[in-house]
Amino acid sequence: MSVADQVGAAAGLVGVLLALVTLFTSAQSSAFQAQQTRSGGADRKVLIRVAMASVSLLTVTIASFLSLRPLASSVWHTRGTPDWQAFFPVFLWVWILLIFLGVWQLVLAYLAGRQWLSHRS
């Protein structure tokens, strides 16, 4: 199977995965932000849920990044050859964006976990 065929096969799944994981991360971020302005202080159950969900989402993001690394490497090595396709840069940018998504999830998990620990009763 050519690199273009492999990217084509992975593109749909990667797109759906990235959209869903980003949507779920955004929901966790919103839940965390709501706790910051909650009267009476943050709900510890929500904080631990946000932290654990963010760690789970981070695990999915890391697994996706690592599993796509060989394909990204193959795409990178086709630059300047007749095998290079116009959509390859988009695939590489989306693959790189997984790093930033992972950083967002890591920071969210850290902040929620730290706040949960500081509010122990």
Residues 87-100: tens digit of each pLDDT? 999 999 999 999 99
The span from the CA of 43 to the CA of 49, in Å, is 10
Q: Is the pLDDT of residue 77 over 90?
A: yes
Provide the residue ranges of all domains of the chain, joining segments of one domain with +: 42-121
Mark out the alpha helices in the chain (DSSP H runs): 3-36, 44-77, 88-118
Question: 20-49 pLDDT, tens per residue?
Answer: 999 999 999 999 999 988 888 888 999 999
Residue 121's pLDDT is what?
57
Eight-class DSSP state of 79:
T
Whole-model pTM? 0.89
